[in-house]
Amino acid sequence: MIDLTSKTYGLISLGCDKNRVDSEKLLSIIRAKGCKVTDNIEKAQILIVNTCAFLNQSRKEAIETILECSGYRGKNLEKLVVTGCLPQKYIGELYDSLTEADVFLGVDDYDKFFEALEKSYEQDRVNFVGYGCGGYLSDRTLTTPLHYAYLKISDGCDNRCTYCLIPKIRGKYKSYPMEQLLKEAEELGDVSELILVAQDVTRYGTDLYGQKKLTEFLQKLTTLVNINSVRLLYCYPDMIDDGLIAEIRDNPKIIKYIDIPLQHSEDRILKLMLRKGSRAEYLQLIAKLRREIPQIAIRSTFIAGFPTESEEDFEGLCNFLRKAQLDNCGFFEYSREPDTAAYRIKGQIKPSIKRKRVRELYRIQEEISANKLQKFVGQKLRVMCDGIDYDKNCFLGRAYFQAPDIDGKVYFNAHDGVQGEYFDVVIEKTDGYDLYGHTEDYLI
């Protein structure tokens, strides 16, 4: 029998922050066996690629990464393990064609990791997709900087958006038990910023407890002494109620920031997407959030070039952005995904038009964001230090309206900086996306 504890393991995590949490839990399973984990994939004997399959571009990146990793054979690499969304959805096509991989595991099969690996040493290639027990895993090996972490509070999705593969990959919405999540959060250690993620954060509890429980969970989560602040991502507009708004407003530990994936603004397109809500309701929600929480930062994402989207629909979306004045936005070209309802809609938009529309949306939002950032010039801003930018030769951090990786940063000079601590930064300028400044004592 092969001694798997003597092997050196490496892991590459692709895709979203929810995938990152899955990767961290798999790493914890590996470390619990006493195995060595390396950041240098060239030294790994067992190399794991945790894949994303949400879009065609994601699948292409996953395949390219797997092929690139296979190139380490003949050096230290003995086994290449492919996990996550790609094998979960496409194992029927992958197993025979992607011979570079030795082991395949789906999104619920991490408990079978060592069994599958051992089997692969006995008989070469193995498919363990669907063999696992699934369920909740609490232990983590953090891959983020030590001062912030993500907490994945559910898996799957019950929203049936016509463009989205997630329900076909991850299944129905599954909330994790509150007491287990609280234990997981407590065991993360001292966290300056805990970021809640799920496919739909606001739906938390509806399946497990029969009602929405996000507000109650936030109240309990923020009593933990090791959790200094909480940020909310992926809050669906139809699930944001008065109780949640009041909790964000009144709870000092909750960052005044909310991510609401709207995806479009025009009623006809929203109906084709099977999105709940309308243009008028979205604008009313945005106005209500700003009325109740004047300092709140609102982020969203939008899809351009959805099937049948006319020039009038697109202009309506542009005008929505100008009216909504959101703080941060991400824009994506519609990706025609097989096995989704939107794939069959007649009136697909040409790729060149989709690209052009995304560029125009970014141009509009860049102007909005630049005007918002300009208001901070000459003012003092509370900034959490994320570390040092050696290229710019200064510290970098984030204000409350900036989430990691998806929003801008604050670059600042200071005599000293500690990761995870807050600094009062005098803002000198903006480039329209990032801010630049210095601490008050820096010029003394």
In a domain, 169, yes or no: yes
Cα separation, 107 vs 143, whole angstroms: 19
What is the radius of gyration, based on Cα positions, of the chain? 23
The whole-angstrom separation of Cα 426 and Cα 354 is 40
Residue 395 is part of which domain span?
A: 380-443
Is 139 inside a domain boundary? no
What pLDDT is recorded for position 272? 98
Q: How many domains does the chain have?
A: 3
Residue 444 — pLDDT band, cuts 50, 70, 90?
low
Do 153 and 285 reside in the same domain of the chain?
A: yes
**Could you tell me if residue 152 is inside a domain?**
yes
Question: Same domain for 169 and 54?
Answer: no
Structure tokens at 328: 């941060």
Q: Is residue 227 part of a domain?
A: yes
> What predicted TM-score, i.e. pTM, was given to this entire model?
0.94
- In this structure, the answer to whether residues 110 and 87 fall within a common structural domain is yes
pLDDT at 137: 81
332-371 confidence digits (pLDDT tens): 999 999 999 999 999 999 999 999 999 999 999 999 999 9
Tell me, yes or no, whether 319 and 242 share the same domain.
yes
How many CA atoms are closer than 13 Å to the CA of 259, on its beta-carbon side? 23
H or E element, residue 183: helix 178-186
CATH number of the domain where residue 57 is located: 3.40.50.12160
Q: Are residues 362 and 406 in the same domain?
A: no
Note the pLDDT tens digit of each residue in 265-288: 999 999 999 999 999 999 999 999
Short-list 417, 399, 418, CA closest to 409: 399
> Cα separation of 261 and 265, whole Å?
11
Give the CATH number, domain containing residue 428: 2.40.50.140
Q: Indicate the average pLDDT of the chain.
A: 95
State whether 113 and 182 are in the same domain. no
Residue with tokens 């964000």: 248
CA dihedral 390, 423, 197, 212 (to 10 degrees): -170
Q: Is residue 174 part of a domain?
A: yes
Q: What is the pLDDT of residues 366-381, one digit of tens each?
A: 999 999 999 999 999 9
One domain for residues 212 and 300? yes
| Same domain, residue pair 189 and 317 | yes
User: Which residues touch 335 (CB under 8 Å, ≥6 apart)?
Assistant: 55, 56, 57, 163
The answer to whether position 133 is within a domain reads no
Note whether 191 and 274 are same-domain residues: yes
**443: pLDDT strictly greater than 90:** no
Task: Say if residue 370 is in the same domain as residue 395.
Answer: no
Question: Within a domain: residue 137?
Answer: no
Q: How far is CA 138 from CA 9, 123, 181, in A?
A: 21, 32, 8
For residue 253, the domain's CATH number is 3.80.30.20
pLDDT above 90: percentage of residues in the chain: 94
d(CA 264, CA 361): 12
